[in-house]
Copies of this chain bind each other. A is one copy, B any other.
Amino acid sequence: MTTDQRKESWSTAEEEIMQATYRALLEYGYAGLSISRIADELGKSKAAIYHHYDTKDDLMITFLKFTVDRFEETIDTETGDEPVEDLKHAIEELLPLQRDEEQRRLQMVLVSLRSQAVTNETFREQFTQIDKQLAATIRSIVDRGIDEGTFRDIDSSRVAEHILATVNGAMYGRTTTDRHNTAAAARVSLVSYIDTELKRHS
């Protein structure tokens, strides 16, 4: 995923704290996170963490950036020159039919962090930015399809929001319920929608 945001570069010590926070969050949830538990995961003292971060809030803001970087690295929305295939590829990246364990854990962490956006402005800005970029990527593929005559002359913004809402909602559902096959069902229906409604029938 291309982004204007500068990626952090992490020292070994910071990277280890981030990895420990990741594991602690998966084990205890966001509400159960504490510097003590992160220090336990790290196998070091709390002082080793406070050396880098003044407060838990500081640590969590850094952890948010760390996680978002990981998410952006996993998403490859590079486009080719076939709008239909590019759109399907973007959907596949955002909503794989099968998730490997690493993808599953990353989505668990993202859903935990994103819930903080309900009351925390910094988190909210970060997820606003992510969704804005994803919607823009999808819309630009649709616009190209319309220009080339592959897609009907539809409202590309609306279609982009529809696709983004569907992939986000399916990911959210799969991460917060035991309904494991529903994300794949939603995706198949979404792709069929692209094939039948978006494509110009000539």
Contact = CB atoms under 8 A, between A and B. Distances in A.
Contacts of A161: 170, 182-183, 185-186, 189
B115 A111 contact: yes
Contact of A118 (B112, B119, B128, B165): B112
A117 B176 CA distance: 5
Contacts of A53: none
Contact of A124 (B27, B157, B170, B177): B177
A131 B179 contact: yes
Nearest to A176: B117
Max chain B C-beta neighbours (<10 A), residue from A114, A185, A190, A196: A185
Interface string A114-158: 111111100011011001100100000000000000000001011
Contacts of A43: none
B157 A185 contact: yes
B119 A28 contact: yes
Contacts of A188: 155, 158
Interface string A22-60: 000011111111000000000000000000000000000
22 contacts: A27-B119, A28-B119, A29-B115, A30-B31, A32-B119, A112-B118, A124-B177, A125-B178, A128-B179, A131-B173, A132-B177, A155-B188, A157-B185, A158-B188, A158-B189, A162-B193, A164-B173, A164-B186, A165-B170, A165-B186, A167-B169, A168-B173
